[in-house]
């Protein structure tokens, strides 16, 4: 009986370790959405303020991602565009470990602008 419980404990510990090195899309998307809303919510589009908004979103998002204490390098791309009827197309390609690495895209909009945030999380091999 003791062997079975120690095996179960070892399996649970291994699953928790796997969670530590897996990119959790839902957690990252929530962090990004919260920070976009905090920085852009209620604002009208202003070209002169875009650089500061991008800096604020980046700083706040990376700070919260680092607090997750996950062994990842993060890459972010943020695009803010005015809503004026023009289209936008983006693409990305990558080669990575699908078991640990991941990405997510968050699209946010209000009446005046779009904000698209792409985040890539690349697991550190320790």
The enclosing H or E element of 22 equals none
CATH 3.30.1140.40 corresponds to the domain 2-123: yes
**pLDDT, tens digit, for every residue of 83-105?**
998 888 888 888 899 999 999 99
Residue 27 φ/ψ, nearest 5 degrees: -60, -45
Q: What gap in Å lies between CA 43 and CA 80, rounded to an integer?
A: 12
Q: Where are the domains of the chain?
A: 2-123
The mean pLDDT of the chain is 88
Residue 105 φ/ψ, nearest 5 degrees: -125, 135
Q: Is the pTM of this model over 0.85?
A: no
Q: What gap in Å lies between CA 72 and CA 104, rounded to an integer?
A: 14
**pLDDT, tens digit, for every residue of 6-65?**
444 444 544 455 567 789 999 999 999 999 999 999 999 999 999 999 999 999 999 999
Q: What gap in Å lies between CA 34 and CA 27, rounded to an integer?
A: 11
Q: What gap in Å lies between CA 10 and CA 64, rounded to an integer?
A: 30
DSSP 56-110: HHHHHHHHHHHHTT-SEEEEEEEEEEE-SS------------TTT-EEEEEEEE-
């Amino acid at each position: 009986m003791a062997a079975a419980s120690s095996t179960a404990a070892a399996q649970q510990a291994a699953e928790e370790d796997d969670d530590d090195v897996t990119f959790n899309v839902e957690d990252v998307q929530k962090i990004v959405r919260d920070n976009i809303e905090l920085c852009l919510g209620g604002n009208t589009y202003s070209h002169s303020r875009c650089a500061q908004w991008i800096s604020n979103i980046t700083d706040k998002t990376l700070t919260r991602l680092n607090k997750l204490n996950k062994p990842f390098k993060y890459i972010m791309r943020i695009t803010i565009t005015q809503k004026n009827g023009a289209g936008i197309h983006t693409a990305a390609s990558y080669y990575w470990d699908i078991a640990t690495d991941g990405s997510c895209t968050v699209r946010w909009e209000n009446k005046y602008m779009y904000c698209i945030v792409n985040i890539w999380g690349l697991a550190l091999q320790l």
